Structure formats: structure tokens, C-alpha cells
Structure 1
Amino acid sequence: MFIPPGYSTVFPYFLVADADGFCRFLVDGLGGEEIDRTLDGERIVNAQVRIGTGTVMVSEASDALPPMPASYYLYVADADGAHGRALSAGAVKIMPVADRPYGDRQSGVRDPWGNIWWISQRLAEGPYR
């Protein structure tokens, strides 16, 4: 089995309205780096954005493949800074940044596409308590 570098066996594939804007949010709001984009005219049929050690794919939603918001857990080096960047890029706070009993400093935001992001900074080495 071959898997491209920067990918895992399972990874998110976002179907969104305004895929270009969503890619900008992933870069500006969550610190990602767009590494590839395939267009059909002006429509994004596939874009790849690397966020930390993972890669996600993004496509413009359609009638056949409608938008599908979901919830994602994102590890970052600085939860407070990442939370602020996400809000500056258009996300809305749903949970303030705080130390959680399971060893993460975490917040929750909802992006303009309806996805929920649990922005987490691991405070303790090892497994969850």
C-alpha cells in the first residue's frame, strides 16, 4: 500500500460551499499551508492543505455532494494563539480556552462553514488520564 507523504490512512475531506474561502480559513485561521489545488474552471475540485503533521482535502460542494460540516480535534503548540487566529479569520467561540482535566488546554470554535474545531494544546506527556 502506498500513501503520499504527509497523509495518513484516514484524513478529513471537506465538501464546502466557497472552497476557496475555506482554504484561506485553513491557512490564515488554523496555520495550514496549501500544497496543491486542482480546478475545473474556477471551481476547486480538489485542494490539499497541510495543517501540522496532517493533510486535509477540500472540494467545492455541489447538488450531488452537498456541504457536510463536522467536528475536528486539532493539536497545536499554542492553544491561546491558535484560538485568537481562528477568531480573527471568522470563527465564532463556542468554548473558551482553558485547561481541561484530561491534560489539554483547549477551546472550541465554529468556522463560517459550520465545522467545529476543538483547538487543543497537550499539557501532559503520555496518554489521556
Structure 2
Amino acid sequence: MSAKPIPAGYHTVTPFLTVAGAVGLIEFLKVAFDAREKELILMPNGALAHAEIWIGDSIIMLGEPMGGDCLPMPGAFYLYVDDMDVVYQRALKAGATSTMEPADQFWGDRLAAVKDRFGNIWNLATHVEDVSTEELQRRMAARFAQ
């Protein structure tokens, strides 16, 4: 049997975070976003070499900095959830700080944003309205005309 070029359950683009204290980020993701560990591989010294974490139907890979080109690098994510208000509060209780209060957006999402202690930005969204391209263009023009 030959291996598939993209393994089952993975998407074409999969984020990879390099995080000092990666195990702490994993714990935050579990509490804030109901993340589940798929895989954890430790270095002989106990540092996290590689982890794969499920959030909803998506995988995030992460590991500790190893030097060279493998330096800590925060990311920004747009995370769709069933109820962003609930997830926003859960993220704050898990130690994140708010960077944007919950609000309905002109493109049809209810959105808030938090920053975890590792510097990652998590845009938390629930889609609440389907907006046509034409209506989106009209709303954008009105929004930025102010």
C-alpha cells in the first residue's frame, strides 16, 4: 500500500507553531478551545519536539524552538466556533487577554479576538449571516466612508 500525498484528516495547509513552552500552549488550547492531542513526541531531554493538536476539524502542529531557523514565531488564526461568545469567555478564563470585544461584523460573522500568553492571536468567529459579494461591497463602502 502506498502512502497518500496528504495524510487522511489533514488539510493542504496546516499551521505549524514554534513556541517556547509549547506544553503550556497545548494546555491553553485544551481549556479554551476544546483541543485534543493527536500526537506528542518528546526529545530525549523532555522538550516537546513535535505535537499535533485537533481543534474542531483542523490540525495545528507545534514544537519547541530548536535553534537555527527554528525560532519562536507567534501566529494569527481565524477560528470558527458554534458560539464565539462562550468560547471568548472560556479563552479569557484560560488566561488570554482580549484584543477585540465581541461584535457583529459587516461581512456576516460575529467576531472577537484574544491573545494567548505566547503571543498568538485567536480571532473567534461564529457565522451569523450569509452576505452576497454585492452586499459585502456595499457594506464595506459604507463602513469605510465614515
TM-score bracket for this pair, using the shorter chain length: over 0.9
Distance 1:127 1:108 in 2: 24
In the other structure, the counterpart of 2:6 is 3
Q: What CA distance in whole angstroms lies between the structure 2 residues aligned with 1:6 and 1:90?
A: 30
2:108–2:131: 8 Å Cα contact kept in structure 1? Answer: no
Q: Which has the larger radius of gyration?
A: 2
TM-score normalised by L of structure 2: 0.83
1:29-44 → structure 2 map (5 Å cutoff): 29-41=32-44, 42-44=46-48
Normalised by the size of structure 1, how large is the TM-score?
Answer: 0.93
RMSD over equivalenced CA pairs, Å: 1.5
Q: Is the 8 A contact 1:6 1:50 kept in 2?
A: no
Aligned residues between the structures:
129
- Provide closer, same or farther for how the CA distance between residues 17 and 103 of structure 1 changes in structure 2, counting only shifts above 3 A: same
Cα distance, 1:5 vs structure 2: 2.4
What are the superposed Cα offsets for residues 45-99 of structure 1, whole Å, 9 maximum, x if unpaired? 1111001111010101132211001211110111001101111111100000111
Deviation for aligned residue 1:7: 1.2
**Structure 1: 5+ residue stretches without partners:** none
Maintained 8 Å contact 1:70/1:115:
yes
Greater relative contact order (Cα 8 A, min sep 6): structure 1 or 2? 1
Higher strand share: 1
Q: Whose helix fraction is larger, Structure 1's or Structure 2's?
A: 2
CA distance in 2, matches of 1:4, 1:22: 25
2:51 corresponds to 1:47: yes
- Structure 1 CA distance, aligned partners of 2:131 and 2:22? 36
Structure 1 window deviating more from structure 2 (119-128 vs 92-101): it is 119-128
Q: Which amino acid aligns with 2:57?
A: T
Distance of 2:9 and 2:130 partners within structure 1: 23
Distance 1:55 1:32 in 2: 9
Q: Structure 1 residues 126 and 48, CA, compared in 2 at 3 Å: closer, same or farther?
A: farther
Q: Gaps (5+ residues) in structure 2?
A: 137-146
